[in-house]
Amino acid sequence: MEPQQAAQIRDAWSQNPTFLELTPKEKRVPVKGKRNILITSALPYVNNVPHLGNIIGCVLSADVFARYCRMRGHETLYICGTDEYGTATETKALQEGVTPKEVCDRYHVIHKKIYEWFNIEFDIFGRTTTSQQTEFLADRFVTGICPFCAYDDARGDQCDSCGRLINAVELKSPKCHICKQEPKVRQSTHIFLHLDALQDDVRQYVENEIAKPNTRWSSNAIAIVKGWIKGGLEKRCITRDLKWGTAVPLAGFENKVFYVWYDAPIGYLSITKCLVGDNWTKWWKNPKEVELFNFIGKDNVAFHGVMFPCTQLGARDNYTIVNHVCATEYLNYEDTKFRLVFV
Residue 164 has what pLDDT?
A: 61
Using the predicted structure, report yes or no on whether residue 140 has a pLDDT greater than 50. Answer: no
For the chain, domain boundaries? 37-138+195-328, 142-182
Of 3.40.50.620, 3.30.110.30, 3.30.310.10, 3.40.640.10, the CATH number of 37-138+195-328 is: 3.40.50.620
User: pLDDT tens-digit profile of 13-46?
Assistant: 566 554 455 778 889 999 999 999 999 999 998 8
Residue 144 has what pLDDT?
A: 54
Using the predicted structure, report yes or no on whether residue 139 has a pLDDT greater than 50. Answer: no
Say which CATH topology domain 142-182 has. Rubrerythrin, domain 2 (2.20.28)
pTM of the model: 0.79
User: pLDDT tens-digit profile of 227-262?
Assistant: 999 989 999 888 888 888 888 888 888 888 888 888
In sequence order, the β-bridge partners of residue 127 are: 82
Whole-number Å distance between alpha carbons of 266 and 127: 11
Residue 342 has what pLDDT?
A: 37
> Contact, 51 vs 341, CB < 8 A?
no
User: pLDDT tens-digit profile of 69-109?
Assistant: 999 999 999 999 999 887 788 888 888 899 999 999 999 99
Mean pLDDT, range 291-314, rounded to an integer: 94
Using the predicted structure, report yes or no on whether residue 318 has a pLDDT greater than 70. Answer: yes
Whole-number Å distance between alpha carbons of 70 and 68: 5
Give percent of the chain with pLDDT exceeding 70: 76
Residue 249 has what pLDDT?
A: 83
